[in-house]
């Protein structure tokens, strides 16, 4: 085990995942937040950017060079947009900093798939093999040894936790999986846009990114791993008028004589020792996991079809909470520290 | 064509569909609201029950006998719970009143299916063959001649309008249809219950009635008719934190070389002359149909699967607006009267 | 009475008041919408700008010159920002078009007050004496004869309807009036801004414009008229997480032995013949007037203080509904046409 | 200092303040939750009552006698309704248990005032002098020595923190204070009622309890203490469509030449060392304090009137967070433990 890290920096601290990370890390007894990065020049106090933190953290947001970060921090959480993130991560890793990257840049193993879906050249493709996908329920051992963790997307977290064990156990068919996901609006980030303008999205509901959402190949990749054969899901996200939460309702074809009971048993076995995944009997409800790092999941066989439903908080288990969970694993802290 | 009816009564006027009916009928130039029924005894003024109607309608809610109704009204809108509704309707039809029934009692053609799903003996099964299902997009001619209309369920309206033309045209397979529907909370009625308590369902999302919702056989019945062979859908409703609106995201298997274009063309052809159904290119958004009698629908083929999405206002196109549309058809009024 | 106008144009049709005007006017049996103006160049179809209108109106938004407007319309509703509005109105009036101006440009009688609060030179100050303030409850006769109506602000409508009759009747003191108003987010317009970004204003509440809101002098002006002596209110608006509605809770000092009963009697007398103002016993609730042109108002004397509370829909009675009401009065239509 | 307590029980654990207490106490390193009381008989598991706690706490809710509580706990948090609470507290104190009472029973010093406003005979009036009002910003020293703490009401917390220092400093007049408060719906408790039915209170806003709300005498009592002369406020609460948060907008008359600067200086001085009160420049926003134990407060002088605005989370600083803060003080723990 490494020496315990406790000096932490956050790049891209002005968004919602940045705020949530700060909130969680302020509860972490072994962490000192030392630097908050921004690409803007004004050096605002963190309480100007996040009035929620008034009186709780006395730091300014700064444009930080990799060298400055290396002097001040042992671990960097990177909350930058894709491509910008990999550019920063490349430099931070050269300086031997541990990095937890909340962007999509190191999630897809195949550079070509990345470039096709994200429409940019990958700035740091050579490092892809070094990155570990930060879903502890799948890769806990690897995360413990990692220096670069690709923090999972919010939708993929909900979909993979629902379906991975059932594909692995051969209980559902890899073909024809439909994932109908619904997310609160914070998942869209902090930049004002017409679609997130309150009077437009309040009291409304719509599907978006139909057939084009970038989380689709990320889900495919890990379900393919679970199934041992190519999986191509149809993933359809929806925007729901609430701040937080993702509910994924997954439709699949059961194999053989799989029943509600066999599906539930497989989920219970997979998650028996997991600190943050609960297999529940009633349909999961996003409010029951909001503001927590937990995932609730259930399964049914109805009319010959398998239905698997999971709920998470998109900003916590779907982003910043998972990042802290990964940080704890990487640094030998108790996995649940700051996450209860 | 009959003599134009204009004396109208509403039974079960204290709920949300009752309120919405009154609002719409107050805009109808040929209608006089003459009686509002309730099963309670207090005879409250309608503005006490619905403060929204203050200054707009001077009627009291009363416990009304069929005979009283026959003296005061030509048409009765019946917004009672299932079973109670059929008991009332039976008497009203004996007295030769036209009835538009917003309950589920006359929607299912097979008494046994009704009794299995609703868990009660049908109080008026002999009349089932006389009832016309009040979806003008399917049965306009029959509605014009009907004296008893079974107003469709809110979820079935959204699902049938999305899928009927595509099954009819043989573009999607009758097997394996999954309907993932999301509804605003007014769909649950006006009686306070824990699940509808504001701090429970606000900022939350969940599936409910998984595999057991009573709208499932209603959807089956009409999609079976469209397909010409038995259809068994998996229908999964969700509760969304908003007042109004249903979005149904329907997953099906395209037949042959069906494409987005062929699906859209079939929808456009089916609804070319419909006053209230719009085939739209962008994903339908419930806000765009809220407080209207309209349905927006679109279709896609993605990764070899067909996706059909529809949006309605559950209280208007999904209930009271459709009822007024049926009333207009039954009485020879312009179909859109009071519904623009 | 003039010839009945029926050709109507809307300038600034892409915002929320524009949408609401179109919705209402589509219900008006004597109106033909002939032109929709925009300052942008793309000439989008109205259904692209307002998908709510799909299938209901086949017009494009255009940059329209005053001359074009004069050829196509008899009346213009002007929904432009302040100053831009007066520039357009000046030209339209020169061409003898009737104008209902929804901006603030003709509401304040004193050009200096306008220029002080709005920070711009008034582009058409000479015309201020010709404009009639479009609050029918105060100026119905003048509106009937007017060719330029200054449609009231949303907050002033709620405050003036609450307080005018009580000041006029000498029941409350002109000194020390505090108006605590709360508005839904649509009042902030359609342009995305951080403060209206869903995850910022959802599940939140704040005061804004404390001591600086531009509706303060507008309220002062009319309450001064009611009192017959200078009134300076303290007006504090709040942003509430809902689409629509304004609730104004007004605090004043009762004069002499004014009681709840005398205040209520004065309100009832003032509004006895008003088609859209209801004096109610229970505290007004914005939902009870949402999507209507109505105002609910009540009053109490508690612990020696007078409390007057009013509720309106900010986009209807507070903007577009009032505009249609004024249009009806100006053109000899029944005042309630299109507003039930 | 006493021996550190760590065995804690909660009576009335099935409501929202109970849930919030459990959540906070699960983060407290020195606390073991040993018993959860209910007045119902079914002994449900806490995760059935609060699915949010699935996997986090393995306790059942039980009907507990005072003796059982004395065996299992050192401190009891009492979340029962008024009157029922005092009956339980009396017995618990006889058994020498420390009690933090979240009901209103020990907040008012004068039994007659209590009985007048609550309409019941006080079941334990003799103990009133022993209770300390649990607002640490006013009574920290007394709380440290207390064995019975009366946890403040949510509205009073927001109003007293806003006004106490200004009255104490003689900067605002004790006469004519109006407090316009707005609360999220969780303040109404967990029992379904028509007024809290989602489709009734969503997208709506109203005043309630006008002139009759029971928090009025509680506010009076402490502002009277601050002023050194009788204070009678007019307190008007409003129900806002959001889960959490109270915003109190307080109107008062400044004394002498008090300015924004003198008011702000007095607030800053009063709260300089407070861990949970922030004097802020911008208008407080409930979202900035939601899910925290903090209070944001600001003041202005506008048009000769003083305006003081405060924001808290009604369930945390307004209830359960304050209770934990009091618990920490009573037991010699760091005041902020479990509250960051």
The model's pLDDT over D69-118, given as tens digits with 9 standing for 90+, comes to 999 999 999 999 999 999 999 999 999 999 999 999 999 999 999 999 99
Q: Mind telling me how many Å the CA of A317 is from chain B's nearest CA? A: 16
Cβ within 8 Å, pair A290-B204: yes
Q: Quick one: pLDDT at residue A41? A: 78
Nearest to D296 among A54, A280, A288 (CB): A54
- CB-based contact (8 Å) between C243 and chain D? yes
Q: What residues contact residue A231 under an 8 Å CB cut-off, 6+ apart?
A: A167, A174, A177, A220, A223, A224
Chain A residues within an 8 Å CB radius of C202? 185, 198, 202, 241-243
Phi-psi label, residue B203: left if phi above 0, alpha if psi -120 to 50, beta otherwise: left
- In a mutational test of the D interface, the residue from C158, C173, C177, C180 whose CB has the highest number of chain D CBs within 10 Å is C180
Alpha helices, H only, chain A: 16-26, 46-49, 66-72, 84-94, 111-118, 136-145, 154-168, 198-201, 215-227, 260-270, 321-331
A77 shares a domain with A36: yes
B145 shares a domain with B208: no
D192 shares a domain with D298: yes
- CB-based contact (8 Å) between D44 and chain B? no
Total residues found in chain D within this entry: 340
Rounded Cα gap, residues A83 and B140, in angstroms: 56
What is the maximal distance between C-alpha atoms in chain D? 62
CATH number of the domain that residue C127 is part of: 3.40.50.720
For A2-44, the pLDDT digits (tens) are 455 589 999 999 999 999 999 999 999 999 999 999 987 789 9
Rounded Cα gap, residues D226 and D221, in angstroms: 9
pLDDT band at B39 (very low <50, low <70, confident <90, very high): confident
- In a mutational test of the B interface, the residue from C288, C297, C315 whose CB has the highest number of chain B CBs within 10 Å is C288
Among chain B residues, CA nearest to A199: B287
D104 shares a domain with D228: no
Question: Is B338 domain-assigned?
Answer: no
Q: Per-residue confidence of chain A (340 residues) as pLDDT tens digits?
A: 445 558 999 999 999 999 999 999 999 999 999 999 998 778 999 999 999 999 999 999 999 999 999 999 999 999 999 999 999 999 999 999 999 999 999 999 999 999 999 999 999 999 999 999 999 999 999 999 999 999 999 999 999 999 999 999 999 999 999 999 999 999 999 999 999 999 999 999 999 999 999 999 999 999 999 999 999 999 999 999 999 999 999 999 999 999 999 999 999 999 999 999 999 999 999 999 999 999 999 999 999 999 999 999 999 999 999 999 999 999 999 999 999 9
Rounded Cα gap, residues C240 and D204, in angstroms: 9
C236 shares a domain with C109: no
Question: Is D338 domain-assigned?
Answer: no
Is residue C3's pLDDT more than 80?
no
Question: Is A336 domain-assigned?
Answer: no
Q: DSSP 3-state assignment of B50?
A: coil
Q: Mind telling me how many Å the CA of B211 is from chain D's nearest CA? A: 22
Proportion of chain D above pLDDT 70, given as a percent:
99
Rounded Cα gap, residues B201 and B187, in angstroms: 13
pLDDT band at B40 (very low <50, low <70, confident <90, very high): confident
| Average pLDDT, integer, range C46-62 | 97
Alpha helices, H only, C95-135: 111-118
Strands across the sheet containing A7-11: A61-62, A32-37, A7-11, A75-78, A98-101, A148-150, A132-133
Rounded Cα gap, residues D278 and D161, in angstroms: 11
Distances (CA, A) of B66 to A215, B41, B63, B149: 59, 16, 10, 18
Proportion of chain C above pLDDT 90, given as a percent:
97
Nearest to D234 among C184, C205, C303 (CB): C303
Rounded Cα gap, residues D77 and D229, in angstroms: 33
- CB-based contact (8 Å) between B204 and chain A? yes
- In a mutational test of the A interface, the residue from B204, B286, B298, B314 whose CB has the highest number of chain A CBs within 10 Å is B204
Q: Quick one: pLDDT at residue D1? A: 42
What Rg do the C-alpha atoms of chain B give, in angstroms?
Answer: 19
A308 shares a domain with A168: yes
Is residue B278's pLDDT more than 50?
yes
- CB-based contact (8 Å) between C244 and chain B? no
Q: Quick one: pLDDT at residue B1? A: 42
Cβ within 8 Å, pair D211-C249: no
Nearest to A185 among C185, C194, C199 (CB): C199
| Average pLDDT, integer, range D181-187 | 98
- CB-based contact (8 Å) between C51 and chain A? no
How far is the first Cα of chain C from the last one, in angstroms, to the nearest whole number?
24
B162 shares a domain with B144: no
Question: Is D337 domain-assigned?
Answer: no
How far is the first Cα of chain B from the last one, in angstroms, to the nearest whole number?
24
A302 shares a domain with A216: yes
| Average pLDDT, integer, range D197-211 | 97
Strands (E) in chain B, as ranges, are 7-11, 32-37, 61-62, 75-78, 98-101, 132-133, 148-150, 178-183, 206-207, 234-239, 246-252, 277-279, 295-302, 305-312
How far is the first Cα of chain D from the last one, in angstroms, to the nearest whole number?
24
Distances (CA, A) of C145 to A129, C69, C98, C141, C328: 79, 22, 11, 7, 12
Strands across the sheet containing D295-302: D206-207, D234-239, D178-183, D246-252, D305-312, D295-302, D277-279
CB atoms within 10 A of CB C209: 16
pTM for the model: 0.97
C79 shares a domain with C224: no
Do residues B279 and B264 touch, judged by C-beta distance below 8 A?
A: yes
CATH number of the domain that residue A243 is part of: 3.30.360.10
D203 shares a domain with D79: no
Question: Is C339 domain-assigned?
Answer: no
The residue to which tokens 């307190």 are assigned: D235
D201 tagged catalytic? no
Chain D residues within an 8 Å CB radius of A340? 26-27, 56
B226 shares a domain with B272: yes
For B207-254, the pLDDT digits (tens) are 999 999 999 999 999 999 999 999 999 999 999 999 999 999 999 999
- CB-based contact (8 Å) between B178 and chain A? yes
Phi-psi label, residue D228: left if phi above 0, alpha if psi -120 to 50, beta otherwise: left
Rounded Cα gap, residues C209 and C188, in angstroms: 12
D285 shares a domain with D266: yes
Give the orientation angle of helix D154-168 with respect to helix D260-270, to 10 degrees. 110
Cβ within 8 Å, pair D27-A340: yes
Which residues of B are known to be catalytic?
A: 154
For B115-135, the pLDDT digits (tens) are 999 999 999 999 999 999 999
Q: What residues contact residue A280 under an 8 Å CB cut-off, 6+ apart?
A: A296, A297, A298, D51, D54
The structural domain count of chain A equals 2
Alpha helices, H only, chain C: 16-25, 46-49, 66-72, 84-94, 111-118, 136-145, 154-168, 198-201, 215-227, 260-270, 321-331
**Tokens in use for A198?**
């309150």
Distances (CA, A) of C111 to A237, C24, C71, C116, D98: 53, 32, 31, 9, 67
- Identify which of D241, A186, D208 has the alpha carbon closest to the alpha carbon of residue C241: D241
Which helix (H) or strand (E) covers residue D178, if one does? Answer: strand D178-183
Q: What residues contact residue C272 under an 8 Å CB cut-off, 6+ apart?
A: none
Question: Is A162 domain-assigned?
Answer: yes
Question: Is D246 domain-assigned?
Answer: yes
pLDDT band at D40 (very low <50, low <70, confident <90, very high): confident
Chain D partners (3+ C-beta pairs within 8 A): A, B, C
Rounded Cα gap, residues B337 and C37, in angstroms: 29
For C152-170, the pLDDT digits (tens) are 999 999 999 999 999 999 9
Cβ within 8 Å, pair C234-D305: yes
A60, β-bridge pairs: A45
Q: Which residues span the domain enclosing A148?
A: 7-152+318-331
- Identify which of A173, A187, A144, A181 has the alpha carbon closest to the alpha carbon of residue A301: A173
Nearest to B192 among D185, D192, D243 (CB): D192
């Amino acid at each position: 085990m490494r020496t315990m890290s406790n000096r932490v920096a956050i790049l891209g601290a002005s968004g919602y995942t940045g705020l949530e990370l700060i909130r969680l890390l302020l509860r972490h007894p072994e962490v000192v937040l030392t630097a908050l990065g921004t690409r803007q020049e004004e050096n605002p106090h963190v309480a100007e950017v996040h009035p929620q933190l008034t009186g709780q953290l006395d730091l300014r947001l700064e444009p930080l060079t990799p060298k400055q970060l290396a002097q001040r921090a042992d671990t960097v959480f990177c909350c930058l947009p894709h491509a910008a993130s990999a550019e920063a991560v490349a430099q931070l890793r050269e300086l031997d900093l541990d990095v937890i990257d909340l962007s999509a840049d190191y999630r897809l193993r195949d550079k070509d798939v990345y470039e096709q879906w994200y429409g940019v050249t990958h700035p740091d493709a050579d490092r892809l093999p070094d990155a570990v996908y930060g879903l502890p329920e799948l890769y806990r051992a690897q995360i413990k040894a990692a220096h670069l963790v690709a923090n999972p997307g919010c939708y993929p977290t909900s979909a993979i936790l629902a379906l991975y064990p059932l594909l692995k156990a051969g209980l559902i068919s890899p073909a024809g999986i439909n994932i109908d996901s619904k997310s609160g609006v914070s998942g869209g980030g902090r930049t004002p846009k017409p679609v997130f303008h309150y009077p437009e999205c309040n009291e409304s509901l719509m599907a978006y990114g139909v057939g084009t959402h970038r989380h689709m190949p990320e889900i495919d990749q890990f379900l393919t791993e679970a199934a041992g054969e190519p999986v191509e899901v149809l993933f359809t996200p929806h925007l729901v008028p609430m701040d937080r939460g993702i509910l994924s309702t997954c439709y699949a074809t059961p194999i053989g004589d799989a029943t509600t009971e066999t599906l539930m048993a497989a989920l219970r076995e997979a998650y028996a020792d997991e600190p943050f995944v609960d297999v529940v009997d009633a349909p999961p409800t996003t409010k029951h996991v909001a503001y927590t790092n937990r995932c609730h999941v259930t399964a049914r066989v109805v009319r010959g079809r398998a239905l698997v439903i999971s709920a998470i908080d998109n900003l916590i288990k779907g982003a910043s909470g998972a990042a802290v969970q990964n940080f704890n694993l990487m640094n030998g802290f108790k996995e649940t520290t700051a996450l209860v």
